Chains A and B, each alone.
Chain A
Amino acid sequence: MPAKKYKITPKGLENLFDLLSRNYNIVGPSVEKRLIKFKQVKSLDDIAFGFKSIEGAGFYNLERDNWWFSYNRPANTLKDFLHPGERFLTEIIKEDNEEKTFQVPRSPWQYCFFDIRSCDLQALFIMDKVFKKEPFYLDLRNRSLIIAVNCNHAMENCFCTITKTGPEIRKGFDLLLTEGEDYFLLEVGSKKGQILLDQVSDKRVPSRGELEDKNRRLRMLKGEMADKFNMENIAEKLLSRLNLTYWKEIEERCLSCGNCTSVCPTCFCYDILEKSSLSFAKTQRTIVWDSCFSPDFATINRFNIRGSLSSRYRHWILHKFVYSTLHFKRCSCVGCGRCITFCPAGIDIREEVLKVVSS
Chain B
Amino acid sequence: MILGVFKLTSCGGCQYSILDLGKSLLEQKIFYFTEISSSNLWHTFDVAFVEGSVTNDDEKELLLKIRQKAKFLVALGACAVSGGIQAIQRSKKDKGLIFYSYPLSDFVSVDLELRGCPVKSEHIEETLFSLSVGSVPYFPDYPLCIECKRKGNPCLMITHKILCLGVITQGGCGALCPSLNRGCYGCFGPVKGANLKAFFRCALRMGLTEEKIREIIMNSFNGYHQIFRELYDK
Docked-complex contact A345 and B143, CB < 8 angstroms: no
* A58-B205, A309-B195, A346-B205 given; A257·B145 CB < 8 A: yes
Chain B residues touching A, majority SS:
helix
Answer yes or no: A341 CB below 8 A from chain B CBs.
yes
Residue contact B150 to A262, C-beta cutoff 8 Å: yes
Question: A288–B198 Cα gap in the complex (Å)?
Answer: 27
Report yes or no: A278 in contact with B128, Cβ–Cβ below 8 A: yes
Q: Are B151 and A262 in contact (CB under 8 A)?
A: no
CA distance A276 to B167 in the complex (A): 29
Nearest CB in chain A to that of B22: its residue = A278
A-B pair number, CB within 8 angstroms? 122
> In the complex, what's the smallest C-beta–C-beta distance from A337 to chain B, in angstroms?
13
| Given A60-B158, A85-B150, A309-B193, A275 and B141 contact (CB-CB distance below 8 Å) | no
In Å, the complex CA distance between A124 and B201 comes to: 35
A243 to B202, CA, bound (A): 26
Contacts of A258 in B (CB 8 A): 142-143, 145-146, 149
Q: How far is the CB of A79 from chain B (nearest CB, A)?
A: 10
Whether, in the assembled complex, A75 has its beta carbon less than 8 Å from a beta carbon of chain B, the answer is yes
Enumerate chain B residues within 8 angstroms of A256, measured Cβ to Cβ: 143, 193, 195, 198
Q: Which of B138, B141, B168 contacts A294 (CB 8 A)?
A: B141
* Nearest-CB residue, chain B, relative to A87: B150
- Number of residues in A with C-beta < 8 Å to the partner? 44
> Which residues of chain B in 122-172 are interfacial with respect to chain A, using CB atoms and an 8 Å cutoff?
122, 125-126, 128-129, 132, 138, 141-143, 145-146, 149-152, 154-155, 157-160, 164, 166-168
The reply on A101 being an interface residue by CB < 8 A is no
- Closest-CB distance, B3 to chain A (whole angstroms): 12
A273 vs B141: C-alpha distance in the bound complex, in angstroms? 13
Shortest C-beta distance, A315 to chain B (Å), equals 15
Is B65 close to A, CB under 8 A? Answer: no
Q: Please name all residues of chain A whose beta carbon is closer than 8 Å to the beta carbon of B145 when the two chains form the complex.
A: 257-259, 262
Q: In the complex, A293 Cα to B24 Cα: how many Å? A: 36
Across-interface contacts of B44 in A (CB, < 8 A): none
Q: From residue B31, how far is it (CB to closest CB) to chain A in Å?
A: 18
Q: Is the interface of A mostly helix, strand, loop or mixed?
A: loop
Beta-carbon contact of A33 and B154 below 8 Å: yes
The docked-state distance in angstroms from the alpha carbon of A166 to that of B191 is 38
Cβ B149 vs Cβ A254 within 8 A: no
Decide yes or no whether A344 CB sits under 8 A from chain B: yes
Residue from A263, A277, A278, A309 in contact with B149 in the complex, judged by beta carbons closer than 8 Å: A263
Q: Does A232 have its Cβ within 8 Å of any Cβ on chain B?
A: no
Answer whether residue A37 sits at the interface, using C-beta atoms and an 8 A cutoff: yes
Is B197 an interface residue, CB under 8 A from the partner? yes
A291 surroundings in chain B (CB, below 8 A): 142, 146
Q: Are A251 and B142 in contact (CB under 8 A)?
A: no
Distance (Å) between the CB of B155 and the closest chain A CB? 5
A80-B152, A277-B24, A278-B27 given; A289·B198 CB < 8 A = no
**A contact residues around B160 at 8 Å (CB):** 34
Considering the complex, give the chain A residue whose CB is closest to the CB of B158. Answer: A60
A37 surroundings in chain B (CB, below 8 A):
154
How far apart sit A254 and B193, CA to CA, in the bound complex (Å)? 12
Shortest distance between the CB of B182 and any CB in chain A (Å): 13
Contact status B142-A85, CB under 8 Å: no
A71 on the interface (CB 8 Å rule)? no
Chain A residues positioned under 8 Å from B192 (CB to CB): 295-296
Chain B residue at minimum C-beta to C-beta distance from A341: B158
Residues of chain A from 249 to 279 with CB closer than 8 A to chain B in the complex: 251-259, 262-263, 273, 275-279
Which B residues are within 8 Å of any A CB, using their own CB? 21, 24, 27, 122, 125-126, 128-129, 132, 138, 141-143, 145-146, 149-152, 154-155, 157-160, 164, 166-168, 181, 191-193, 195, 197-199, 201-202, 205
In the assembled complex, 9 residue pairs joining A and B whose CB atoms fall closer than 8 Å, in A order, are: A255-B198, A257-B143, A257-B166, A258-B149, A278-B129, A289-B149, A295-B191, A341-B158, A344-B158
Q: A278-B24, A288-B150, A296-B141 are in contact. List 10 more A-B contacts (CB 8 A).
A: A34-B159, A58-B205, A60-B159, A85-B151, A253-B198, A258-B142, A258-B146, A259-B155, A278-B129, A290-B146
